[in-house]
Amino acid sequence: MDREGEDDQPGPVVSPRITNIQVLRLLAAVGVVLHHLGHYGPVILKVGRDWLKFPLFVGFPVPLFFVVSGFVLARAVRGASPGRYLIARALRLYPGYWIALAGTVALMRAGVFTEAHRALRGASSFGSLSLWPRGSEGVMTFLGIEWSLVCEIFLSGALGALAWVGRRRMPELAAAWLGIIVAKVIYRPQIFTDMLPHASTIALSGYNAPFLLGLLAYPLRERGQGLRWLVMAAIPALMAYAATRPTLELSFL
Query: In Å, what is the CA distance from 57 to each residue of 42, 120, 179, 229, 231?
Result: 16, 30, 26, 23, 20
- Residue 92, strand partner residues: none
Q: Which of 14-18, 120-124, 168-172, 238-242 has the lowest mean pLDDT?
A: 120-124
How do residues 62-113 score in pLDDT, each as one tens digit?
888 999 999 999 989 988 888 899 999 999 999 999 998 888 878 777 777 6
Q: What is the largest CA-CA distance in the chain?
A: 57
Q: What is the pLDDT of residue 192?
A: 83
CA 113 to chain centre: 26
Residue 178 scores a pLDDT above 50: yes
Task: State the chain's mean pLDDT as an integer.
Answer: 80
Per-residue pLDDT at 170 exceeds 70: yes
pTM of the model: 0.82
Summarize the chain as % helix, strand, coil (round to 5).
Answer: 70, 0, 30
Please give the pLDDT value at position 48. Answer: 61
pLDDT confidence of 3, banded at 50, 70, 90?
Answer: very low
Q: Where are the domains of the chain?
A: 21-252
So what's the pLDDT on residue 99? 93
pLDDT the model gives residue 44: 66
Do residues 136 and 196 make contact, with C-beta atoms less than 8 angstroms apart? Answer: yes
